[in-house]
Amino acid sequence: MAEQVRPEQQQEPPGLTGPMVPQPDHGEDSYRGSGRLERKRAFITGGDSGIGRAVAIAFAREGADVAIGYLPEEQVDADETARWVREAGRTCVLVPADLTHEEQARAAVRTAVDGLGGLDVLVNNAGYQMARRETFEDVETDEMDRVMRTNLYALVWVTQEALQHLGEGSAIVNCSSIQAYQPSQSLVDYASTKAAINNMTVNLAAELGERGIRVNAVAPGPIWTPLQPATQLPEKVASFGQDTPLGRAGEPAEVAHAFVFLASAVTGSYVSGTVLGVTGGKPVF
């Protein structure tokens, strides 16, 4: 895949898909399902845009009904994801909520489960970072708090609530990052949450194995999503991903396959406690 021209650009968090140049590829024209998630019910946090939207489209085409979590200000992106899920003939439950608040996070899971009539797959994909800073002293408490609450606390709350519904054959897929292995200076707090997510993935897999629940994570490299123009310096956006062995940023569609592989009992039945890198060649060990 040739690298597309990416002009300098900036948005404010959480960022939207519409203003992005070029538009990301979520697999709208390319993803073909083969029944790997037939009749499954999946809740995908951050399913409105980026990697989460690509996962929602892939899951729906694999036969799953889907609920997507997102922030209220992302409604336009959530509606677009829902359109693709419904075009695949599947249900899409919309769950606007700010997951940094415990009550909202727990209620979001209940709304998803009510709408889907149960739960088989949880994708903890919502995430936040802030990279517009130069030194460690630039890390502000409010920003760090948002990073920790979005990436770690919400994952705990959502997973605890989901465990009341997940049973034998269910799967949890967390979203880690290359940052867990090669932390960038500007992302010191974010990177630490992703390392913690790897650790939690292993812990949870060990605990939930006896209940027949598999727990894994995907570690994406640089992927072209709204998170990037919303949180990186504009000049970093222009060169985004060029430092990978494959020499380019990845598209959300290229990450979705890994989530399907791990979520599906067809392909992932003996895979638990692992982190699968989709990094354009950067090492995840």
Q: How many CB atoms lie within 10 A of CB 9?
A: 15
Q: Count residues binding Mg ion (CB under 5 A).
A: 3
Strand partners, 91: none
- The listed partner (ligand NAD, Mg ion, none) that binds 213, CB under 5 to 8 Å by sort, is none
What is the C-alpha separation between 285 and 283, in angstroms, rounded? 6
272 versus 279: smaller Cβ distance to ligand NAD: 279
Q: How far is CA 60 from CA 38, 68, 116, 217, 261, in A?
A: 9, 12, 13, 20, 14
How many whole angstroms separate alpha carbon 238 and alpha carbon 280?
Answer: 17
Question: Does 280 contact ligand NAD by CB under 6 A?
Answer: no
Strand-pair partners of 66: 42, 92
Q: Which of 31, 43, 59, 70: binder of ligand NAD (CB under 6 A)?
A: 70
Q: How many CB atoms lie within 10 A of CB 210?
A: 7
Residues 6+ apart with CB under 8 A from 270: none
Tell whether residue 231 is a contact of Mg ion (CB under 5 A).
no
Q: Judged by CB under 5 A, which stretch of 40-48, 128-136, 174-182, 215-223 contacts Mg ion?
A: 40-48
Residue positions counted in the chain: 285
Q: How far is the CB of 236 from ligand NAD (least distance, A)?
A: 11
Residue 55 within binding range of ligand NAD, rule CB under 6 A: no
Q: Does 69 bind ligand NAD (CB under 6 A)?
A: yes
Chain positions 88 to 117 lying near ligand NAD, rule: CB under 6 A, are 98-100
Q: Which residues contact 275 (CB under 8 A, 6 or more apart)?
A: 176, 180, 198, 201, 216, 217, 218, 219, 284
Residue 57 found at the interface with ligand NAD (CB under 6 A): no
The stretch near Mg ion (CB under 5 A) out of 24-32, 45-53, 157-165, 240-248 is: 45-53
Our CA angle for 106, 123, 194, nearest 5°, is 95
- How many chain residues are in contact with ligand NAD, going by CB under 6 A? 30
The residue nearest Mg ion at its CB is 49
Where does this chain touch Mg ion (CB under 5 A) — which range of 70-78, 80-88, 99-107, 187-195?
70-78
Q: How far apart are CA 196 and CA 81, in angstroms?
A: 29
Contact letters for ligand NAD, residues 119-158 (x by CB under 6 A): ------xxxx---------------------x--------
* Contact footprint for ligand NAD (CB under 6 A): 14-15, 45-46, 48-52, 69-71, 74, 98-100, 125-128, 150, 175, 177, 220, 222-223, 225-228
